[in-house]
Amino acid sequence: MKTIMIVTDGLGGRPTDIDGKTCLQVAETPEIDDLLARRGTGGLMDPIANGVRPGSDTAHLSLFGYDPYEYYTGRGVFEAAGIGMDLTENDVCFRTNFATIDSNGNIADRRAGRISESQDELEEALADLESEKFPEVEVRFKRSTQHRGALCLRGPELGGNVSPTDPHELGIPIPESSGQDEKSKKTASILNEVTQQARKILDKHPVNEQREKEGKLPANAILSRGSAKYPELPSVEEKYGVTSSVIAAGALYIGVARVAGMAFKQVEGATGTVDSNILNKAKKSVDELEKGKDMVFLHFKGADNASHDQDAEAKTKYIEKVDDTIGWLKKNTDWESTHLSFAGDHSSPIQYGDHVADPVPVMITGPNVRRDELKTFDEYSCMKGGLGRFSGNLLPMTLSYSNQLPKFGA
């Protein structure tokens, strides 16, 4: 049998979203409702645990069946993996921003005006970064989208417990990193060294000289945060015995899935925003299953973007866009041999504009599912669903319906 796991990022909401209702309640979702009512069962899920406010990285680990308290080392490693950096257990990774430092040496803009061009040239210039204090450590930088990127240090005796050089504050100098233990002190020393090198390389780079002539903010520094060692994570195939693919656009979600051993499949038009071509993602998921993959993880990001922007209308429209995509899947999936789960990775209410600990609605549908009485899919209806309220582990739950889980015990 086959399995599809769909996560609509930031799906859940609160009655403060729109006139006493959540965006999911207001959205027209006939395809999702029909899929649940005809073949499924619903419930509420705490992404990590009741009362724990989840990050997207820790939530996805938990949904995949990995205890984030055991396996989570930080976000940097997932960002690096998500943009295609080759990683080993000897790496310490950071999320980075291109940033603007003013003439007084203070941070003027943490995102260098959200730089959107010539990042490849800046990345090439930073290829010569190195540690003179610890030449045995390899330094690698790779840019991502806009101002984002990743920095990885590879070598012996490195620790990941270091403070960031990104203070999330303007008008102050770049702070020095410090380590909590001897290995991390070594890492912090290299990070400080590399940060100073990057300043010198970028400050007089032709790209930045041209940006200043055009009245744009120069990308004359890198700020680092989210330090993380590569986690010792068993792959999905080792853990569950299934082959798998991830179809997503955001580096973080690609990275978590890749570290878990899923093969990343790129899709034309996938942007990770509300304008993303999520229909192409759905088509690719069916294609992956037809080519022999046992499971596909499908990630939709736009609802969370709208939530952070506190835009209820955009979130509602995006949910309706997801519903249309579910409608295509409903018509083009072999429902005699496929089980599908659908949920959010956290709730992101419009009024608050960020992640909260509220549970998210979830459903599992397919031929082996014991149907409940639910007819609509939202935060309120799912309180009465057959799945009840549970924490994480959505992937193994879905695989169990497809008879794809190994037995525990004799």
315 phi/psi in degrees, rounded to 5:
-65, -45
Closest CA relative to residue 251, chosen from 93, 41, 42, 25: 93
Residues 6+ apart with CB under 8 A from 120: 143
Q: Say if residue 364's pLDDT is above 90.
A: yes
Amino acid at site 398: T
Question: Please, are residues 137 and 153 in contact by the beta-carbon 8 Å criterion?
Answer: yes
3-state secondary structure of 69: helix
Q: DSSP secondary-structure letter at 162?
A: B
Burial label, 363 (beta-carbon count in 10 A; 0-12, 13-18, 19+) = buried
Closest CA relative to residue 179, chosen from 199, 195, 194, 159: 159
Check residue 345 and give its pLDDT.
96
Domains and their CATH numbers in the chain: 2-72+233-401 (3.40.720.10), 80-229 (no CATH)
Report pLDDT digits (tens) over 65-86. Answer: 999 999 999 999 999 999 999 9
Averaged pLDDT, 386-396: 97
Averaged pLDDT, 128-135: 93
What is the pLDDT confidence band of residue 410, given thresholds at 50, 70 and 90?
confident
Query: Which tokens is 268 given?
Result: 């034309």
Averaged pLDDT, 203-211: 93
Check residue 370 and give its pLDDT.
95
Average pLDDT along the chain: 94
What is the pLDDT confidence band of residue 119, given thresholds at 50, 70 and 90?
very high
Closest CA relative to residue 295, chosen from 255, 259, 241: 241
3-state secondary structure of 16: coil
3-state secondary structure of 102: coil
Burial label, 123 (beta-carbon count in 10 A; 0-12, 13-18, 19+) = middle
Report pLDDT digits (tens) over 278-287. Answer: 999 999 999 9
3-state helix, strand, coil in the chain (%, to 5): 35, 20, 45
User: Quick count: other Cβ atoms within 10 Å of Cβ 124?
Assistant: 12
Contacts by 122-128 with C-beta closer than 8 Å and gap 24+?
122/98, 122/202, 122/205, 122/207, 122/219, 123/149, 125/201, 125/202, 125/205, 126/198, 126/201, 126/202, 126/222, 128/201
Q: Say if residue 270's pLDDT is above 90.
A: no
What is the pLDDT confidence band of residue 271, given thresholds at 50, 70 and 90?
confident
The DSSP bridge partners found for residue 142 are: 150
Report pLDDT digits (tens) over 178-195. Answer: 999 999 999 999 999 999
Closest CA relative to residue 78, chosen from 229, 199, 242: 229
Distance CA(8)–CA(136), nearest Å, equals 43
Averaged pLDDT, 164-190: 95
Distance CA(205)–CA(218), nearest Å, equals 9
3-state secondary structure of 323: helix
Kindly give the pairing relationship between strand 244-247 and strand 295-300.
parallel
What is the pLDDT confidence band of residue 37, given thresholds at 50, 70 and 90?
confident
Question: Please, are residues 300 and 278 in contact by the beta-carbon 8 Å criterion?
Answer: yes
Averaged pLDDT, 24-35: 96
Burial label, 300 (beta-carbon count in 10 A; 0-12, 13-18, 19+) = buried
Question: Please, are residues 282 and 265 in contact by the beta-carbon 8 Å criterion?
Answer: no
Check residue 325 and give its pLDDT.
96
